[in-house]
Structure 1
Amino acid sequence: MLLALLLLPLLGSGLVFAWKGSISKYLALGVAVAELVVAALMLCSFNYSDSVDSHLQYSIHYQWSWLMRSSIDLGVDGMGLLFVLLTNILVPLIILSSFNEEKSYRNTFYALILLMQFGLLGVFSSLDGLLFYVFWEVTLIPIWFISGLWGQEDQRLRVTTKFFVYTFFGSLFMLVGLIYLYQYADSFSLIDLYNTDLNPNQQVFVFWMIFMAFAVKLPVFPFHTWQADTYTYAPSQGSMLLSGIMLKMAIFGVLRYLIPITPDAIAGCSGEIVIVLSVCGILYGALIAIVKTDVKRIIAYSSLSHVGLMVAGIFASAVVTLRGNFTIEGAEGALVQAFAHGINVVGLFYCSDILIKRFKTRDIREMGGLAKVAPKFAVLFMIILFGSMAVPLTNGFVGEFILLKSLFDYNTLTMIIAGLTVIFAAVYLLRLYAKAMFGEGDEAVLSGVKDLSTSEFIVLAVLAFFVITLGVYPSIIIDLVHSSLKFIYLSVIS
């Protein structure tokens, strides 16, 4: 099933690219739905045993280079399967979200989305450092073309060039770190990398080399300066792919690579520095979102703030564990929140796209009154907004609560400062909703506005379903990832 999961979007991408005309979007949606079915079958047959010995499943191993001691080594544990599910839930919705738009070279557009899906799934299933890097770089190619060819015309060249330079150079740092590890492990195999014996200074070097790539991709403050422009000027589907799925590669990479390989660096000042930078990002993103009036920039800075909380929680949990109090709460909370964030931020960017199309502007000061002419949109938008605000019984609440608890275990003052994000999120998101939905709108504009189309309603209704379901049953995610995180954090203290 894992082989089918990887080959289907790759083959589908080629088929969609070769198929001209409007049929290409239906073909792309069919491939994405088939991928979701495969992922669902993998979930149904997944072994939920709490034993760390059974955490890895659906393995594929094929030696592709004896010279470099690298192999096509693939497999998924609960954590990997979580991100596989997130990818395969969101990609068909992202494709469907474009059905009301006229795209030039539509077959190329949809083929690139499927190619990116292939790269993302490769990242989440790689058990070889070099293979992980290859898939990491593969994802950069389609998103660069999607943003560059279909982005806002007056800014797309500048923005996509800045994005490419940031992410490409970040990736080169990761490659240096992996090659350095290879010198001591004599292999790129993940298990061999885990067993590499590095002294604390060597671990610090490897940590910062690899973390640079993750810091840019997340992004972590102050490596965030590419994010707002790219999210704003990319097409809505590009913004959804970047924020909903692509940044999760870095969350995955931190847990899969950095924590087990460089525990001494994390226990030292490196972990403390990342926590401080993350908390700065939490406050910075939230405060900027409060004063922005561009709807897409508000969501971009909101994402920066929420990602900061996830990263802070992961490293706080790791530091507490290395101090002798074993806990995986922070990592569990981060994965719950990562899945919730993917659902919520895709919903918010799609809602912003709907607002921009209705009002012909990104400025919330020029919006208003949409609730009275689009009640279905008003309800679904509010549900997704509640999830992003971490309202109880929505998907954002449980993960955020666990993350704040892990920060409390680490340092009370850090938790208090990070906890301000709950208040700030309510300020900027309710301000956005109030302006767009209940402000004084132009009656001439509102008279021509319709409620949701069929495809728009399906996308938002599915996202709203996950907001509520995962808020009521968060154990679905926690049970899935528990044994994986237990294995990773036991590797830290062994």
Structure 2
Amino acid sequence: MSCLLLTLLLLPLVGSGLVFAWKSHSSKYLALGIALIQMLLTFYVLSDFDFTPTVDSVLQHEINYPWSQFMKSSLHFGIDGMSMLLLLLTNILMPIIILSSFNENINYRNTFYGLILLMQFGLVGVFTSLDGLLFYIFWEVTLIPIWFIAGLWGQENKRFEFTTKFFVYTFVGSLFMLAGLIYVYNHSASFSLTDLYNAQLNETQQTIVFWFIFFAFAVKLPVFPFHTWQPDTYTYSPTQGSMLLSGIMLKMAIYGVIRYLLAITPIPIAGISGQIVIILAIVGIVHGALIAIIQTDMKRIIAYSSFSHVGLMVAGIFSSAVITLRGNLNIEGGEGALVQTFAHGINVVGLFYCCDILYKRFKSRDIRQMGGLAKVAPKFAVLFLIILLGSMGVPLTNGFVGEFILLKSVYDFNGTAAVIAGLTVILCAVYLLRFYGKAMFGQGDEAVLSTVKDLSGVEFSVLASLAIFVIVLGILPQPIIEMVNSSLKFIYQSMVN
């Protein structure tokens, strides 16, 4: 049994209980301390991580303990390259998200921070589970705290409307996934991931399972046309809720598609179902970008931007899968999606925090009511620009490499699809530069600008930390690619075996 992985899994849960019980104003410091310890522990696991395992033995720090003979399920956890990357993303962003709230006047602080740590527990469980039932349980665990965070600390007059829609979409999607996993389980030896991969399903059965499980992932990502819950939820949630949803939570679905869907349902992916998903993803890329261009609410701009970027990840994953199933092993789409997953998590958290900073200065989310901030807040202008360039995929920023690999993967599948998907690069520059130009260089109200100060210590610390990742990962993306290579080869090869 791996004590390191067990500690990674349980520390957020124990920490959450401590913070819930901590009635003091200093609960935020306790939560930050626990998140920092979790981050340092993750880096320690990374320092001991084998970047070049054999394709047949990609798991490290494995735990496997039977817990339900009746359901043929076990407490099976492990870390491979894909899990390691998403653990890094989760445990790097959590202390940053907690720190970003330090200037906020938050009611029921201990409950708020306790829920964040509880969500971290669920996320670690999702990214390390190697048992289908266990994966579903942790998937549901993450839904509970984010629903409370969005509902209790969200915008007052929209609270019931958007949280109900969010809950219904995600809960119904989860039930479809559970039904799909149970169906596969009934045709396999157990809920073990290996047994699920080896389930004996014909084409019709695989197609049913594919759409049941994909529906849950499509809602969480989201993929067109299952995205209608997203703009309102991202817009009216508190800043930290928007960060958790967009920066980490949607990555569960990217992980789930690669880890569970590809190898369990290869036949429909090779056929019409896989092509339908690619078409829906590309429609979402263009649809999200075009709607972002006409938005004036800055949080909605970022919400639709995220929707558009996720579409490219999905298109890349399925393009590589179809090419592989046609007889040519191709993991480029998976590599690009995971590189972009990490980059998108960093960038979107930074963008939502920039929206929060702008809202505090201008008391509005409408970009038409902003302007002139660059001359009174130069530090903010520079850090905002770095994160913005990363989101646009400018060379030497973290968003470039993943986006390039994804477009290459889509091109290998279909040239026309790649041209349409490539519009995301141009359209993203249009809406993000419009946003930045209005806020930083537009005609601002001099009376408002005279009272505006540059970044506080907390704000500078958060944005500078994220900006460093934008630059470093743009210059040195190779470690991420090497980290996930063996895991992806194992999964993509499992599709054709």
Q: Could you say which TM-score interval applies, normalised by the shorter chain?
A: over 0.9
Matched-pair contact (CA < 8 Å) for 1:282–1:305? yes
SS at match of 2:157: coil
Aligned residue in 2 for 1:141? 144
Aligned residue in 2 for 1:278? 281
2:214 matches 1:218:
no
More displaced, 440-449 or 425-434? 440-449
- Match of 2:197, as an amino acid? Y
2:438 matches 1:435:
yes
State the distance in 2 between where 1:5 and 1:453 align: 32
Q: How does 1:177-326 map to 2 (within 5 A)?
A: 177-326=180-329
SS at match of 1:254: helix
Deviation at 1:21, TM superposition (A): 2.2
Which residue, out of 95, 112, 116, partners 1:113? 116
SS at match of 1:71: strand
Deviations 1:244-283 (A, max 9, x none): 0000000000000000111111001110000000000000
Deviation at 1:157, TM superposition (A): 1.0
- Match of 1:48, as an amino acid? F
- Match of 1:8, as an amino acid? L
State the distance in 2 between where 1:357 and 1:195 align: 54
State the distance in 2 between where 1:182 and 1:403 align: 33
State the distance in 2 between where 1:476 and 1:429 align: 29
State the distance in 2 between where 1:315 and 1:378 align: 38
Deviation at 1:325, TM superposition (A): 1.5
Aligned residue in 2 for 1:403? 406
2:27 matches 1:28:
no
SS at match of 2:156: coil
Deviation at 1:294, TM superposition (A): 0.1
Aligned residue in 1 for 2:165? 162
- Match of 1:43, as an amino acid? L
Aligned residue in 2 for 1:65? 68
Matched-pair contact (CA < 8 Å) for 1:60–1:74? yes
Deviation at 1:186, TM superposition (A): 3.2
- Match of 1:19, as an amino acid? W
Deviations 1:36-94 (A, max 9, x none): 01110111001112411231111111111000001110001000110000000000000
State the distance in 2 between where 1:127 and 1:50 align: 18
State the distance in 1 between where 2:250 and 2:436 align: 25
Aligned residue in 2 for 1:417? 420
2:104 matches 1:85:
no
Q: Percent identity?
A: 72
2:17 matches 1:14:
yes
State the distance in 2 between where 1:56 and 1:208 align: 28
State the distance in 2 between where 1:393 and 1:182 align: 45
Matched-pair contact (CA < 8 Å) for 1:279–1:312? yes
Matched-pair contact (CA < 8 Å) for 1:470–1:476? no
Aligned residue in 2 for 1:41? 44
Aligned residue in 1 for 2:381? 378
Deviations 1:372-396 (A, max 9, x none): 1110000000000000000000000
Matched-pair contact (CA < 8 Å) for 1:50–1:482? no
Which residue, out of 459, 484, 488, partners 2:491? 488
State the distance in 2 between where 1:240 and 1:30 align: 19
State the distance in 2 between where 1:122 and 1:326 align: 30
2:461 matches 1:458:
yes
**Which structure 1 residue ranges, 4+ long, deviate > 2 Å from structure 2?**
none
State the distance in 1 between where 2:12 and 2:456 align: 27
State the distance in 2 between where 1:404 and 1:420 align: 10
More displaced, 220-229 or 193-202? 193-202
Q: How many residues end up aligned between the 2 structures?
A: 494
- Match of 2:297, as an amino acid? D
The normalised TM-score by structure 2 is 0.99
Alignment RMSD, CA only?
A: 0.6
Deviation at 1:6, TM superposition (A): 0.8
Deviations 1:279-312 (A, max 9, x none): 0000000000000000000000000000000000
Q: Structure 2, unaligned stretches of length 5 or more?
A: none
Deviation at 1:321, TM superposition (A): 0.7
Which residue, out of 333, 354, 359, partners 1:356? 359
SS at match of 1:21: coil
Deviations 1:399-448 (A, max 9, x none): 00000000110000000000000000000000000000000100111111
Matched-pair contact (CA < 8 Å) for 1:320–1:326? yes
- Match of 1:424, as an amino acid? L
Aligned residue in 2 for 1:51? 54
SS at match of 2:61: strand
Matched-pair contact (CA < 8 Å) for 2:52–2:482? no
2:131 matches 1:128:
yes
SS at match of 1:12: helix
State the distance in 1 between where 2:374 and 2:36 align: 32
State the distance in 2 between where 1:341 and 1:48 align: 23
